Amino acid sequence: MVGAVLASVAVLAVAACGQGAGQADRPAVAQGGSDFKKAGDESAQFGTDAKPGEFPRTIRHAMGETTLAKRPERVIVLDVGELDNVVALGIKPVGVAYTEGSPTMPGYIGDRAGAPASVGTSNSINLEAVSKLAPDLILGSKLRAEQQYDKLKAIAPTVFSLRPGYTWQANFRLNAAALDKSAQADQLLGDYTRHATRTGDAVAAKLGTRPTISMVRFMPGKIRLYADKSFIGTILADAKLPRPQSQQVDDLAVEISTEQVGKADADWIFVGSYGDPAKTAQQSVQGGPLWQQLGAVKSGHAKTVNDEVWYLGLGVLAAEAVLTDLEKQLTS
């Protein structure tokens, strides 16, 4: 029985990853989906009306409502965003699903998460492993695990955000509501906002201007320029650091071909690579003439950044780390 269940999860995960199969297979909250741009407004409505310390409490989330009888003590997280969120709130999860591109504990989190057991990856959840850990709360997202939601909630109360990414602050508040740590989340987000303002101001003071920032990410089979509705896009907006015209787009990212690398130019370029760089076009592009002709490259302003922080972190701890790194890169 378990083998059949796990096989069905694997098939569903492959289907979720293979979005090239057609528009009908794409989740509505995925990039290009009908609900992608609505996710911010919808996510802001999630949470609870319960008072601090009050249990049972009912949580409004992407899959409806979930009632928690008591304060959760054994939490499983199904993506890096949720991992970042609970660790920021002082919780050490008992289980975690990492991403395929970075299947180990992110270095910026380190031992703050304790030693959670693996429950598969964010696109291929091992339900047997989840069940064995006897969780009392499972945190994930509709984008990553909608097809597994009914099976997960049969194991433990399960709370889903709509999607990771540009909704990260609302997701943090949602996770905090389930953990009865809303005041702490508000404090951390306030600290982040003030840090973003200081970073932008420090860059402007040092350089005499606010430079345009280009975010380039090499992935297997594609090159992305990250735009306004992305995790990194929101951080740059909060720091009031402008983007080149090619990335002033109300979307997650713009995909370009190797011949369109000129669109990546800006005062500064920050480069990430998902997974093994050898499986992407990074080496050939950066070694080619079009890349070498970019103004930022000629000025020594094209820098490689840590992908697991700048692109995969998806939470307040990663956002704080990005701001620290950003200021260091631009003012050193």
* pLDDT value, residue 25: 55
Token pair, residue 67, equals 């009632």
Q: pTM for this one? A: 0.91
Could you check whether 39-45+53-179 and 189-331 share the same CATH topology? Answer: yes
pLDDT tens-digit series, residues 82-110: 999 999 999 999 999 998 888 899 999 99
Helix axis angle for 182-207 and 168-179, nearest 10°, is: 150
* pLDDT value, residue 24: 44
Q: Which residues of the chain have pLDDT under 70?
A: 1-26
Helix axis angle for 182-207 and 231-238, nearest 10°, is: 60
Cis before 56 (ω within 30): yes
Where do we find the tokens 């969120």?
85
**Would you list the domain boundaries of the chain?**
39-45+53-179, 189-331
Task: Choose which CATH entry (3.40.50.300, 3.40.50.2020, 3.40.50.1980, 3.40.30.10) describes domain 39-45+53-179.
Answer: 3.40.50.1980
> Which fold does the domain 189-331 belong to in CATH?
Rossmann fold (3.40.50)
**Going by C-beta distance under 8 Å and a sequence separation of 6 or more, which residues neighbour residue 273?**
217, 218, 219, 280, 282, 304, 307
Q: 202-215 as b/e, with b when 16 or more CB fall inside 10 Å?
A: ebbeeeeebbbbbb
Residue 11: other Cβ atoms inside 10 A: 12
Token pair, residue 129, equals 């492993």
pLDDT tens-digit series, residues 168-215: 999 999 999 999 999 999 999 999 999 999 999 999 999 999 999 999
